[in-house]
Structure 1
Amino acid sequence: MVKRTTAAHTMKTKPITYLAAALALAVAGSSCDHDEIYEPLDFAVRLAPTNTYRVGEPVVFNFEGNADYITFWSGDVGHEYRYRDRTTMPKSELETCQLTFSLSRRSGSNTGDVQVYASDRFEGLAGDNAATDKATIEAIEAGNFADWTRLEVNEESKSGQWGTTTCNLLDVDGNGTALTDNFTLLIRWHPKDVTAQRNYYINTSLEVKFKNRESTSLSYTDLQFVNFNMANEMAGKEYDTYSTGSKIGYLQYGQNAGNIILNAIESGTMCPYLIDTWIFSTPMSLNLTSPDTGLSIKGVTDDVKSYSYTYDKPGTYTVTFVVANGNYQGESGIQTYEVTFTVIDPIE
């Protein structure tokens, strides 16, 4: 059992037994018969008496006992043991949800042929059922995009230039409307004039930041776009309905020139029918997060008597050590040990 230690800083230690099948250590096989005998786990962690507990100076943890495996959870952001299974953050912790959309028309002077919308009420396309998806899209248009917010896109009047639009999804309309629960981005490519259809390059990304955490950037691949070609010329052609490619009337993903390329004209030949392509991102909650992680600092063959870690911010931290024995002789139950202390600013 870890003993309480008295120091000039706020500190407490306590052992906690934690059994988890998901973390059970594999026992190596043996070519000979043997009895399942092994040493019971005996472990203790103590804070080094030389610790100063100041930002930028290492905190040293001394170990005693026979643990074969030790995993270290530092207690700072992203590495708290209590959040090891957390996959969502409270929406109140969302600080930034910024959509960036860049558009470049490659020729001509007509604008407005690419329209952009956002919603949190769309369930997504099937992606493999043309009749169902066509009906879904027709309902959106018939309803005059009732569940969608039109995003005003900055499109340069001069061809070949990039226009960039940023949108705060925490307040998409200036009235406090947030689109974070089930966010979907819709790009509709629908020129006004069949005789003036043009090529477009598109780049898009999404930055999500939670309070006291680093921001995460979602690329167009993370948004997982699904496209549907609504033009009558595609009716009954299920493969062509979802198809992508470089030929006119189609789009391409992941090219050097842009995340999405819309092809309406090639070598002076224009698409003979009026393009009407709908490109949906897959609906997603924007408060998703990765579970916190620990760091393995000892394996069965390692001789580790101490470990140090340096904190870059003041605060009270709860460090967790997950320890166990496990070798050819058997395995012990997993145990966790917590050490709590306060780190203060350095002396100026």
Structure 2
Amino acid sequence: MVKIKNMKSYYIWVCAALLLTACDKTELTDPEFDVRVEKAVYKLGDTVKFNFSGYADYLTLYSGETGKKYENRERTRADGTVKLQVNLFLRNVSSQKSLSLLATNDLNPLRDSADVVDAKWTDITDRLTRLPTANTTSGVDAGLLDLTDLKHATKPLFLAWKFKSPNNPTGVQTRWTVTVFTMTNNLPDGTVMALGTVTTFGWKAISVKNKAYAWITTGGLFTNAPAINSGDTENWAVSAPIYPDAILRDYPVSIKDISNVMPLTYQYIYTARGKYKVTFIGSNSRSNDSKTIRKEFEITIE
């Protein structure tokens, strides 16, 4: 707290504060900078050199590559085609129809046993067009599934494996191993967004019958083949909620901040051929206010 000794000191203090405030406000100006490139077409592996003039407190670059596009800076969802690749390893065949793949948009994320059994599931097993029916020596391609129709605008997607097999009095029951479970969101521009693999979907084992032989969800995903004459079995492995259209927003590369001298040039190397919309954002900022300018152009990498 400032202690004011007399009126003269008070007026000096007030005037100084007003002067500082006025200076702070007048210092915020529109950034004045320009950027030029030496040519519009480059060979793959060439160094693209951007030449700057003028000044901006902050300078960032959206290169136009996947994950670095200005138009996607606020995007958090991307509508695409959802694909799921499944490979399965089958042993001890005793019931060829013991495995089902199910989907729902209506499930409590806690995935309690009662909720799982009572949920309205869609059976999509028939989309596994190459589901093995005999013992295999390793994981085999069971199908590339299109799950686009299972998306919901406001609800997550849950997937579940259900193993249901009758008691076998003469041998162990069938054992299934899910060796590949890879989901992607394929965007119209050709971008492929990874959504998860067999070890990243947060599987939860749910036992309905024969709890001793629940799904194994650590170190892989497979049924724990019930022993001879161990009773009927019904066990589930249910995924955590999946948001197929969720996507991270795009971010720029930072070239300078207010503490740095304005560079004269910046060099960048593209790693893939194509046409790129390059966007530079220059901004000046003071306190809670800022002013920006955008410079855009297109370059081609052959």
Flag whether TM exceeds 0.5 (same fold): yes
Any idea what SS the aligned residue of 2:71 has?
Answer: helix
Distance 2:213 2:229 in 1: 6
Report the Cα offset of residue 88 of structure 1.
Answer: 1.2
Equivalent residues in 2 for 1:101-250, closer than 5 Å:
101-108=86-93, 110-117=95-102, 119=103, 121-127=104-110, 129-134=112-117, 136-137=118-119, 140=120, 147-151=122-126, 152=128, 154-155=131-132, 157-169=134-146, 178-181=149-152, 183-195=157-169, 196-203=172-179, 204-217=181-194, 218-231=196-209, 248-250=212-214
1:317 matched to 2:294: no
Amino acid at match of 1:73: Y
Q: How far apart are the structure 1 equivalents of 2:248 and 2:131?
A: 33
Contact in 2 for aligned 1:54/1:314 (Cα 8 Å): no
Q: Where does residue 239 of structure 1 map in the other structure?
A: none
Structure label with greater radius of gyration: 2
CA distance in 2 between counterparts of 1:86 and 1:197 reads: 48
Long gaps (5+) in structure 1: 1-32, 172-177, 235-247
Percent identity at matched positions?
13
- Change in 2 beyond 3 A, CA 1:127/1:285: closer
Moved over 6 A (4+): none
Query: Where does residue 334 of structure 1 map in the other structure?
Result: 290
> Which ranges in structure 2 are unaligned for 5 or more consecutive residues?
1-16
RMSD: 3.4
Match of 1:46 among 34, 53, 67: 34
SS at match of 1:82: helix
Q: Secondary structure at the match of 2:162?
A: strand
Q: How many residues align?
A: 268
C-alpha separation in 2, matches of 1:310 and 1:335: 29
Query: 1:3-18 maps to which residues of 2 (within 5 A)?
Result: none
Tell me the secondary structure at the aligned position of residue 189 of structure 1. Answer: strand
SS at match of 2:151: coil
Tell me what 1:13 maps to. none
Which whole-Å deviations, capped at 9, do the CAs of 1:146-180 have from their partners, x for residues lacking one?
Answer: x4333335225135432321233157xxxxxx333
What does residue 6 of structure 1 align with? none
